[in-house]
Amino acid sequence: MTTNTNTTTKNQVDASYETSKFALGVGISMAALVGLWGAASLISALASNGPVGLVKAYVTAVIGM
């Protein structure tokens, strides 16, 4: 004689932890993209104006404020 046994399992999910983990991942990804964009812009300005031109433009921008 065979007997069928049904078992159920429940998984508790901490929604606030999962939401915070997702938000932190998105924030870190966006910060990385902003950093890469800034580095690319700096390299582009350095390539087109040279180091002296870049420093001159930076000083002009800071004094112009």
pLDDT digits (tens, 9 = 90+) for 1-38: 788 888 888 888 889 999 999 999 999 999 999 999 99
By residue range, what is the domain housing residue 35? 17-65
At residue 65 the predicted structure's pLDDT band, cuts being 50, 70 and 90, is low
pLDDT score at 3: 84
Tokens linked to 2: 């065979």
pLDDT score at 2: 81
Angstrom distance (rounded) from CA 22 to CA 13: 14
| 55: in domain | yes
| 5: in domain | no
pLDDT score at 33: 98
Average the pLDDT over 45-63 and give the result: 91
Residue 8: burial class (beta carbons within 10 Å; 0-12, 13-18, 19+): exposed
Whether the CA torsion 14, 15, 18, 19 is positive or negative: it is negative
| 12: in domain | no
| 6: in domain | no
Q: Total domain count for the chain?
A: 1
